[in-house]
Amino acid sequence: MAKPFIKPVITAAEAAGFVSEGSSLMVGGFNFGGAPYTLIEALCENGAHGIDLICVDTSYYNTRVKGPVGVARLVTEGRLRSVIASHIGLNRKTQELYTSGELMIELIPMGTFAERIRAGGAGLGGILSPAGIDTIYEEGRETIELNGKRYIIEPAITADVAFIRAYKADAAGNLIYCGTNRNFNPTMATAANIVVAEVDEVLPIGAIDPENVVTPGIFIDALVIRGESEYASRT
């Protein structure tokens, strides 16, 4: 019997090397919950620019530590070419760059955001959504009428790389999550060419009940052990 495929456990710096100029990058989480801070911090250190970020929010500036948190560092350091997100209200720098035309941003409803990524992971071309019909959001978007109702045609979203956050993995890359960490992470794991999961620990194969696996290891390319940064330790 063949041995199960073992996923490599790599450093955060090695994972950051998967992202280069022009890469599209999905990052899981929503503010503190489920953000892969160890991976984000390593990416901030590797100097990559021109990144197309796909993340539900652009995090925020922390007044206590006087610095940007998570993907907000990528924004403030001018590392991004574009953003697909649902929420930028807590990051003034994102708003300033968008208003000045220095950063391309596509704002979409949060449910649509999740569904477009799910469609990408399922190999679909997109979804039909009624969200935004007869509002400013509809302007410039293609629509279709089906059974007497109009829908916006929302194309699927995929990425070159996804950085996600899970609780634990086994050596085959099967993942389980903790609380709200199970937000956009499982869906993003299905929709990128390279998926790196940041986890608290890697267990032997068989240590995770198959009934509890949320993300099967077939979607995961590499694992990174969570670091001890201020933010990584809280999520």
pLDDT at 65: 63
User: What separation in angstroms does the CA of 18 have from each of 61, 134, 187?
Assistant: 26, 41, 20
Residue from 141, 88, 84 nearest 116 by CA: 84
pLDDT at 222: 98
pLDDT at 68: 87
pLDDT at 2: 44
User: Thinking of the domain 12-123+157-224, which architecture would CATH place it in?
Assistant: 3-Layer(aba) Sandwich (3.40)
Q: What angle do CA 29, 32, 33 make, to 5 degrees?
A: 50
pLDDT at 47: 84
User: DSSP characters for 134-194?
Assistant: TSGGGTT--EEEETTEEEEEEE---EEEEEEE-SEEETT--EE--GGGSSSHHHHTTSEEE
Cα separation, 232 vs 224, in Å, equals 12
Q: Which residues of 51-72 are buried (b: 16+ CB within 10 A; e: fewer)?
A: bbbbbbbbbbbeeeeeebbbbb
Q: Which residues contact 60 (CB under 8 A, 6 or more apart)?
A: 31, 68, 69, 72, 90, 91
pLDDT at 158: 98
Which residue ranges make up each domain of the chain?
12-123+157-224
Is the entire prediction scored with pTM above 0.85? yes
pLDDT at 227: 86
| Full pLDDT tens readout for the chain, 235 residues | 345 589 999 999 999 999 999 999 999 999 878 999 999 999 999 888 999 999 999 998 776 767 888 999 999 999 999 999 999 988 889 999 999 999 999 999 999 999 999 999 999 999 999 999 999 999 999 999 999 999 999 999 999 999 999 999 999 999 999 998 999 999 999 999 999 999 999 999 999 999 999 999 999 999 999 986 555 554 5
pLDDT at 230: 54
